[in-house]
Structure 1
Amino acid sequence: MVVTENAAAGVRVPGRRSGGLLLRILPPSLYAGRASALIERSALVYSRAWLVFVSGVFEPLFYLLAFRVGFGQLVPEVTGPGGGTMSYVAFVAPALLAASAMNGAVFDATYGVFFKFRYDKTYEAALSTPLGPLDIALGEIGWAVLRGGLYAVSFFGVMGVMGLVTTPWAVLVVPVAVLVSFAFAAVGMVCATLLRTTSQFDYIQLAVMPLFFFSTTFYPLSVYPEPLQVLVQCLPLYHGVELSRGFAAGVLDWSMAGHVAYLVGLAALGVYGVSRRLHTLLR
């Protein structure tokens, strides 16, 4: 297998003589398998800015400590999954984990992708190699998922130290965070291709903040009036929060399959959308 290096893209990719027959048969937008080159590039970039990477661990940690010290004293117990009671900190912690996965994925898939796409022309350079639009989409989303997974593992470790891990099922909050990262990174990357100026990032924040506050992150669904409950259940972060909270409490039911299906469908739709957008804009 021949390996070539594109200086403008800053990545090493398999040469065209590797799988040449496949490349002649399939158009660039329909093959994948080289996405790891984009993940490797992102890892090399962040190795020189590791403080930015590490700082993402502290935001949800500060939230968790604030609820442990402050709100946890005012609201000692709440109704959790399955109708049982649990401490307020244990109620909020898995939701914050899912929310941090969303925030990290959206940041990576919008800010980072926008500047690579509009100013650095990274993707135009990448497309001069055997990489196709689907490779680019999966590579950028894959990096956001990897970063979200590392944050989730760190946050889960803090939960364990604080005594908030009370069931073996709780370890599944990490794959839930990975799935949330995947779904939001895919949709966020689609949004990044639609933005034309940096001022339009305000629209991203306008969408993310309500998701963070109203997706049952800090209080159960039952506090909403019934018409609003239907609206909240349509929010993508709600499904991640409910999955994470259910596993953390060790309360499993069939509704979890619906939450997983929602997030998987959102991720698939996002991957398809961004691959089509890149194919249209960069051809």
Structure 2
Amino acid sequence: MALPRAGGAHLLVLRNIWVHKGGSPWTMALFSIFEPILYLLAIGVGIGALVGDVPGIDVPYATFIAPALLATAVMNSALEETTQTAYAKLTFDRFYHALVVTPMTVTGLVTGEIAWGMLRGLITGLGFLTAVTAFGLVTSPWILLALPGSLLIAYTFGAAGFLVAGYVRSWDDFQYTQLVMLPMFLFATTFYPVTIYPEPFQLIVKALPLYHAIELIRQPALGQLEPTLLANAAYLLLLGTTCLLLARRRWQHLLSA
């Protein structure tokens, strides 16, 4: 299915950059990576001192979880822009209603907000990568693939978040998203390899979007470029594009009602 023309998407991105011009990109990155850095210090460094190297992978524990926390930080950064912030623009500011009476199309609106979430995710990924480099946790030059990987992760979760935001009825509904996000964060191999699970449960874990996001960052970070990396990228691209198309349909209905 061909994507409709994204009329005006770049203007919405420029508008969001203008609104945030008071804070530098590094300030935005600092707020986005604060929580995962705490996890890295408390669990990766603290518990990592007790764990030592990860069995079967032979890398220090902090080095193992750092890429996963980077992927998680990018995910959360994109989701923040396309869920709660988007819902506020819809209900309180009625910003989106004002946009659709201009030449900007709904496709442009959806694409622009997702693109803005991608930019936020890239800034977060760059900020976290700078932090782990300063901590001495970079072991392979292939870690630079984390930057395009961050864009893809932000695209997927940004599109999924904007789709979810189109169905939110009140602020209370965001509590339900945590029922999905928190278990996924805990079980999608953030803190240990997938091989620790029984075989049937591994299949469930490998179906989680965050698992593929983590693998997309972790493999290059550890210098392990395997063919499965393409499968991880394809999964995220397909999921993101599907969510984008569904989000466009949902927001077309919302803004024409």
Shorter-chain TM-score range: over 0.9
1:160 to 116, 128, 133: 133
Question: Are 1:30 and 1:132, in contact at CA under 8 Å, matched by a contact in 2?
Answer: no
Q: Verify: 1:34 aligned to 2:8, yes or no.
A: yes
**Amino acid in structure 1 at the alignment position of 2:17:** A
- Give the TM-score of the pair, scaled to structure 1: 0.85
Q: Offset of 1:165 from its aligned partner?
A: 1.4
SS in structure 2 opposite 1:120?
Answer: coil
1:200-219 aligned within 5 A:
200-219=173-192
Deviations 1:114-173 (A, max 9, x none): 111122111111111111111011111111111110111111111111221121111111
How many Å separate the matches in 2 of 1:188 and 1:237? 13
How many Å separate the matches in 2 of 1:120 and 1:169? 43
Report what 2:221 is aligned to: 248
Deviations 1:228-265 (A, max 9, x none): 11100000000011121100011111111110100000
1:181 to 148, 154, 172: 154
Give the unaligned 5+ runs of structure 2.
none
**Amino acid in structure 1 at the alignment position of 2:21:** S
> Could you say if the C-alpha distance between residues 155 and 52 of structure 1 is closer, same or farther in structure 2, counting changes exceeding 3 Å?
closer
How many Å separate the matches in 1 of 2:138 and 2:252? 45
Question: Are 1:46 and 1:53, in contact at CA under 8 Å, matched by a contact in 2?
Answer: no
Q: Which has the higher strand share?
A: 1
Q: Offset of 1:31 from its aligned partner?
A: 2.4
SS in structure 1 opposite 2:54?
Answer: strand
Question: Are 2:216 and 2:229, in contact at CA under 8 Å, matched by a contact in 1?
Answer: yes
**Amino acid in structure 1 at the alignment position of 2:5:** Y
SS in structure 2 opposite 1:56?
Answer: helix
Report what 1:75 is aligned to: 51
How many Å separate the matches in 2 of 1:68 and 1:221? 17
Q: Offset of 1:33 from its aligned partner?
A: 4.1
**Amino acid in structure 2 at the alignment position of 1:223:** I
- Give the TM-score of the pair, scaled to structure 2: 0.93
1:65 to 34, 41, 49: 41
Q: Offset of 1:48 from its aligned partner?
A: 4.2
The root-mean-square deviation of aligned C-alpha atoms, in Å, is: 1.6
**Amino acid in structure 2 at the alignment position of 1:97:** L
Give the unaligned 5+ runs of structure 1.
1-28
Report what 1:18 is aligned to: none
How many Å separate the matches in 1 of 2:90 and 2:189? 34
Deviations 1:35-73 (A, max 9, x none): 111112222222346666641131222222223431111
**Amino acid in structure 2 at the alignment position of 1:171:** L
